[in-house]
Chain A
Amino acid sequence: MFDERKMGELSKAREKWERETRSKWLEALPEREENFRVSSGFEVNPVYTPEDVAGLDYLRDLGFPGEYPFTRGIHATMYRSRIWTMRQFSGFGTAEDTNKRFKYLLSEGETGLSVAFDYPTIMGLDSDDPLSMGEVGRCGVAVSTLKDMEMLFDGIPLDKVTTSMTINMPAPILLSMYVAVGEKQGVPMEKLGGTTQNDNLKEFIAQKLCIFPPEAALKLSVDLIEYCTRKMPKWNPISISGYHIREAGATALQELAFTIADGVTYVEATMERGLDVDEFAPRLSFFFASHNDFFEEIAKFRAARKVWAILMKERFNAKKERSMWLRMHVQTSGCTLTAQQPLNNIVRVTIQALAAVLGGAQSLHANSYDEALALPTEEAVRVSLRTQQIIAYESGVCSTVDPLGGSYYVEWLTERLVEETFRYLDRIEKMGGVVEGIKKGFFQREIAESARRYQQEIERGERVVVGVNKYALDEKVKVPILRIDEEVERLQVERLRRVKAERDNGRVEERLAALRRAAERDENLMPYILDAVKVYASIGEITKTLKEVYGEYQELIVF
C-alpha cells in the first residue's frame, strides 16, 4: 500500500524514535504494564505505523464499502442512508405482559421486535411440566401453544413489523406458531419478515440449552433453513451466534472463529439438501457480542465480514454478492455489566454500542444498566434505546462509512484476527469438523479455560473492573428492579390446561403421529410441525414426540 522507498525511510525513522525519543520518555515515565494485550492474546505495540500494514493491499483486503471482500461494510452507503435497526430484546411474564411491552417499544420508536422466551419454552417444555416450576415467564415470555402466540402478537400487524425470535432447538415449533398467527391475520408466510436464532450448534458449544443430540439438532436447524428458502423469502432462518460463545468466556478470536466454523457447517449441511449456495446464503445472518476492548471489537466485526466473504466466494463458489455478505446483529456484552454501582453500566454499554456501530452492525441491542441485578425495568430499557439514538443522531459517527478504516492499529488487528481465524478453522477441520469437536469437548474446554483466565486476571487485579476490584464502594445497591408476579405461572398454567381441554385432541394425536413418522423417515419436519401447532398441539408434546425418535442430549461435563 506504500511506496517502498518511503517505507525504508519510515523504518529508519521508527528505529531512531525508539532509540532516542521513546527511550528517554521511558526513563522518566516507565509504562504501566510490562505488556499490553487484547482479549485474543495478541500483544499490542506502543504505536502503529504504515510498517505494520505494509502487506495490506487496499483493493484486495479492504475494498470499497459494498464491494468484495466487504471489510469496510456490506452496504456502500451504510448509515448515511439508513441507521441500523434498534432492536431491544424483551419478553417476560405472560403473553399479555410482553404484548404490552412490545406496543410500548414500538411507540417509542423501536423498529423491530425481539422476543425472549422463558426457560421452559426454550427447553421445549410446557408451562405445566414439573421441571417448569418457578420458571414460567421469569426470563422471557411463556409460549406453550398457538393460543399464547396469538396473544403475544395481538394488535400487532405482522406485515408491518419484523420479529426476531431467540429460540433454537424448538425454533421450528415457534416459527410455525408465528406463521399460523400470520395466517389468522391474513398475512401469508411469504410476507413475514424476521429472524429465528435457530443456531443449534452453539448450544452445545456455549449456551447449553440442548434438547436433542448434535446430529438431530443440526438436522432441525437445516430443516428450517431449507423450508424458509423455499417458502419464506423474507425470513432470516438462522442467526449464527457468537454472542453466547463470548458470554460463556471465549476471547474475541474464539468467538469469531467458532462462529464462522458453525456457519461453514450450516452451509455444507444445507448444500447437501440439494440447494444451491446462492439460493439460501443471502438469508444467513450472524449475531456477535460487543465486549469492552473497543478497537479489538471493531476489528472483529470487520474481520468477520472479510473471512465470510472469502469463504463464500472461494470455498463455496457463491456468485451472488449477497451470499458473501455477513449481516450482523450485535448485542453489548452482558457479562461485563456489574451489580456494583450499576449506573456505571450505562457508560460501558455506550462504549460497546459505539464499537458495534463503528464495526458496521446492521442491528443492535444495547443492554440496560440494571441487568446484572434482574430483568431491566422500563426506564432502564429506555436509557439503552436512547443511548443508541444518541450515537445515531448526535455523535456524528454515522456521517462516513467505516471511519476507522485505514487506522494502522485497527487494520493490523483486523488482519491478525483474519489470519488466526483461518488457523482455527483448519484445526477444527482436522479434528473432523464442528460436530466432532463438540463431542470431544474441544470448544467447551477452550471456552472454560478462557473464562477461568479472565476471572484470574480480575482476581489478581491485572484486569480492572471499575467498581468491583478497583474504586469499589461499600454501599448497598439501590435501583428499582423488575419483579415478576407470582401469579404469572398460575395464570399461564391455567390457560394451557384450558387450551388442552378445549382443543380437538383426536386431531392433535393424529398430527403428532404424522410428525413422528416423518421424523423416522428423515423428512423435512417443518410442514408436519406447522400442521401440529395449528390444532394447538403444545411445544411440550411436539418436543416429546421428537425426543422419542432422536433421544435426548447428555451434557458433557467439562470444568
Chain B
Amino acid sequence: MSGRRVRVLVAKPGLDSHDRGAKIIAAALRDAGFEVIYTGLRQTPEQIVETVIQEDVDVLCLSILSGAHMTLLPRVMELLRKNGVDDVLVIAGGIIPDEDVPKLKEVGIAEVFGPGTMTEEVIGFIKRNIKRQR
C-alpha cells in the first residue's frame, strides 16, 4: 500500500430506482475502510466509465434491478476496454438470473452477487481480488 485507500465506485446503471442495496453496500464498504463514491441513480454506461476514469477508482460495483443488465453491463465493460481501463475490478449485484452470470463473467465482470448476499462476502471478495497494487 502506498498510502492511498482503495477507492470504490458504487454505480447504478439503468432506469430503476432500487437503491437500497447499492446504499447498503456503499455504507458497508465505507465502514470497512474503503473510500467510497456513490453515483446516485440512473447513470448511463458512458457516465459511469467517465467517473471511473476521473475518480481513478480501483473497484467498480454495479447495482441493477431493472432487468436491463444484459444490455447495460456488457456496454460498461466495452467502454472500459475502449478507454484502456483494464485494471479495475468490476463486480455486479441485483436481480440477475443465474443463467446470465456466465455471460457477464465472459465480458469481464469478476463476480455477480444476488439477493441475500452478506456485505462481508462482498468486502472479502474485493480484498482478495483487487487488481491494482497501491
Contact = CB atoms under 8 A, between A and B. Distances in A.
B40 A557 contact: yes
A332 interface: no
B38 A132 contact: no
A248 interface: yes
B97 interface: yes
B111 interface: no
Nearest to B45: A133
A133 B44 CA distance: 10
A373 B120 contact: no
Interface in A457-485: 458-459, 465, 468-469, 476-477, 481, 484
Interface stretch (A273-281, A294-302, A320-328, A335-343): A335-343
A348 B84 CA distance: 48
A194 interface: no
Contacts of A130: 44
A451 B24 CA distance: 7
Interface residues of A, number: 45
Given A455-B24, A559-B27, A373 B95 contact: yes
A131 B15 contact: yes
Contact of B97 (A131, A374, A468): A374
B20 A559 contact: no
Contact of A135 (B38, B66, B119): B66
Given A119-B66, A338-B115, A133 B26 contact: no
B98 interface: yes
A134 B115 contact: no
B118 A459 contact: yes
Interface string B48-62: 000000000000000
A455 to B, nearest CB: 5
Contacts of B70: 134
B79 interface: no
Nearest to B23: A559
A130 B24 CA distance: 29
B78 interface: no
A119 B16 contact: yes
A499 B17 CA distance: 29
Interface in A474-527: 476-477, 481, 484
Contact of A207 (B17, B22, B38): B17
Given A451-B20, A452-B27, A372 B115 contact: yes
Contact of B120 (A207, A248, A459): A459
B116 interface: yes
A180 interface: no
A335 B22 CA distance: 14
B130 interface: no
Interface residues of B, number: 32
A139 B67 CA distance: 7
Contact of A555 (B41, B44, B97): B41
A421 to B, nearest CB: 23
A9 B116 CA distance: 50
Contacts, number: 93
B98 to A, nearest CB: 6
A336 to B, nearest CB: 11
Given A131-B44, A374-B95, A138 B17 contact: no
B14 A559 contact: no
A123 B66 CA distance: 13
Contact of B38 (A248, A339, A469, A559): A559
A196 B88 CA distance: 44
Interface in B23-44: 23-24, 26-28, 38, 40-42, 44
Contacts of A451: 20, 23-24
B41 A138 contact: no
B110 interface: no
A220 interface: no
B67 A484 contact: yes
A187 interface: no
B72 interface: yes
Contact of A373 (B28, B41, B97): B97
A120 B15 contact: yes
A310 to B, nearest CB: 32
Given A340-B116, A372-B115, A139 B97 contact: no
Given A134-B70, A459-B118, A119 B15 contact: yes
A245 to B, nearest CB: 11
B71 interface: yes
A212 to B, nearest CB: 15
Nearest to A244: B17
B116 A465 contact: yes
Given A131-B44, A139-B16, A468-B116, 15 more contacts: A130-B44, A134-B14, A134-B68, A138-B68, A139-B67, A209-B17, A248-B19, A372-B116, A374-B67, A374-B95, A451-B23, A455-B119, A459-B119, A477-B98, A481-B97
**Which 7 residue pairs of A and B lie closest in terms of their CB atoms, listed nearest first?**
A134-B71, A119-B15, A134-B68, A208-B17, A138-B67, A559-B23, A339-B115
5 contacts: A134-B14, A138-B67, A338-B116, A339-B115, A559-B38
Interface of B: 14-17, 19-20, 22-24, 26-28, 38, 40-42, 44, 66-68, 70-72, 95, 97-98, 114-116, 118-120
